[in-house]
Amino acid sequence: MKSETIEKPLKKVCIICAKGSIEDVYATLVLANGAVMEGIEAKLFFTFFGLDAITVKQMNKIRTGTLGNPAMRMPGGLPFPSLLGAMPGVEAGVSAMMKSQMEKLDIPPVGEFLEMITAGGGEVYACKLAMDMFKLEEEDLWEGCSGVLTVGDFYAMCGGENTQIIFT
C-alpha cells in the first residue's frame, strides 16, 4: 500500500469506551497510550460498562466476553463454541488465559496503563449519566480521573481542528 503524505497531522484524539470487556478496555488504553507517545493530545471518556475500567472495585476484575464473540478462538485456531461460554468457570478461565498472555507481552494492568497515559498528558473522564445510573460517586473512581462530565461537556472538549473521535 502506498503511503500518502499527511497535510494536517492529528493533534487530538477523544476516545469513548462504553464496554467493560478486556478487549474493549484495552483497545481504549492502547489507542490512548499510542497517542500520547506520539505527542497527540488524548482525552478518554468512560461510559456505561466502560466505567468498570476506572472504578476502583472493578478495574482489576474485567473479563473477556465468551458468549457471542465470533472472533474467539481456542488454542490452535479452532473457533470457540459459543455454548462453552455459558458453562460455569469458562469465562473466568478464558479471562485468566488472556491476562496471562498479556503479562507475557509485558502489557500493564489497567491501573498502571491509566497512570502511563495520564503521566503522558492524557486525561480520563467519567460519564455523569452512567455514574448516576450505576449510583457511583467520584470517590468510587480511580484517583487519576480528571472528573465527571456530561457527554455534551466531553464533546465540547473535543472540538478543534485535526481532532478525531474514536468509539471503542
| Chain segment 95-113, per-residue pLDDT in tens | 778 888 888 998 999 999 9
**Torsion region of 126: left, alpha or beta (phi above 0 gives left; psi -120 to 50 gives alpha):** beta
**Torsion region of 128: left, alpha or beta (phi above 0 gives left; psi -120 to 50 gives alpha):** alpha
- Where exactly are the structural domains of the chain? 12-64+110-167
DSSP 38-69: TT-EEEEEE-GGGGGGGBTTTTT--B---TT-
| Chain segment 63-83, per-residue pLDDT in tens | 887 766 667 777 777 777 776
| Chain segment 13-34, per-residue pLDDT in tens | 999 999 999 989 999 999 999 9
Q: At what angle do helices 22-37 and 110-119 cross, to 10 degrees?
A: 20
Beta strands in the chain (DSSP E): 12-17, 41-46, 123-127, 147-149, 163-167
Q: Which CATH architecture has domain 12-64+110-167?
A: 3-Layer(aba) Sandwich (3.40)
